[in-house]
Structure 1
Amino acid sequence: MPFIKIYIHLVFSTRNRDPFLNTFDIRLKVWKHIKEYATEKGIFLDMINGYSDHCHCLISLGSNQNIEKIVQLLKGESSHWINKNQLTIGKFSWQDEYFAVSVSESMIDPVRNYIRNQERHHQKKSFNEEYEEFIQKYNFKM
């Protein structure tokens, strides 16, 4: 049996960054559903949270998993579930792009805290500002 611990901080937004997840109640339902679905599919989802137009996940990859497949599963199934349950006004979908960065063992707790405090964080900073910080901090080329 392989022993693997590869943590990934995953961030994805709603289509056109529309604030579909605009109430705490909707977000709570969506995050709970994504967590349950991840467990069902054998995806280790350590932490999930977000705000009205995006989602943060801290995941750990299993030996037979890759980021693309996990993102496809989580986004695809949750979009379907949100629409089936009519949680939003209009057709819901996630944007195609996403961020995924590795997280070292020493940074797990700070990333968990960052994800846990999204509500408070976004009282001061928009997702666009956060997006620009990710681009610069992780040296993504646009």
Structure 2
Amino acid sequence: MPQSLAQILVHLVFSTKNREPWLDDGLRDELHAYIGGIVENQKGSLLKAGSVADHVHLLIAHPRTVAPSEMVQEIKTGSSRWLKTKGPKYVNFHWQSGYGIFSISPSHRPALERYIEDQAEHHRKVTFQEEYRRLLSRYGMGFDERYVWD
């Protein structure tokens, strides 16, 4: 086969350092657009983005030529640098060092898009830590509580 094709959909989740509420309502759309540009530069597509004050959910059509860890590093490093240019308030901004990245089936895409859209409503009842534990459990990922949070 002369052509290489791939459809790799991933759900990427990461929080601000210590889950501090850095992400203001007025900044989120611009942040999502900036992250979309980073993903495009890596030859991927940002399909859906959602966030609340302390974390981000991204649905990405991941490029077949970039390792997931490289994509995440580009997103987090680039967006952190960008946020620090948004005024003195953000000079000490940092993302957490870890992240969760989960493969998803194309048939689950609509449900995940709704989930990402409903983040503000969802987090009126559930903390990020509760949500993240549920995601790890749903995807069958073992974890040590001592090393998940920073």
Task: Structure 2: state its 5+ residue gaps.
Answer: 144-150
What's 1:24 paired with?
25
**1:27, distance to aligned residue in structure 2 (A):** 1.6
2: CA distance between counterparts of 1:39 and 1:75? 14
Query: Which residue does the alignment assign to 1:12?
Result: 14
> Which residue identity is paired with 2:126?
K
Instruction: Flag the 1:88–1:41 CA change in 2: closer, same or farther, 3 A.
Output: farther
Q: CA RMSD in A?
A: 1.5
Unaligned runs of 5+ in 1: none
1:68-123 deviation per Cα after TM superposition (whole angstroms, max 9, x unaligned): 01000000000000002227445111111111111011101101111111111112
Count, aligned residues: 141
Percent identity between the two aligned chains: 30
TM-score under structure 2 normalisation? 0.87
- Structure 1 residue 132: deviation in Å? 1.7
Instruction: Output the CA distance in 2 between the equivalents of 1:140 and 1:98.
Output: 13
Matched with 2:148 is none
Higher strand proportion: 1
Write the letter of the residue equivalent to 2:131: E
Written as runs of structure 1 = structure 2, the 5 A alignment for 1:14-93 is 14-21=16-23, 23-86=24-87, 88-93=89-94
Runs (4 or more) in structure 1 with deviation over 3 Å come to 87-90
Within the alignment, does 1:122 sit opposite 2:123 as a pair?
Answer: yes
Q: What is the DSSP-based 3-state SS (H/G/I as helix, E as strand, rest coil) of the residue aligned with 2:14? A: strand
Counterpart amino acid of 1:96? S
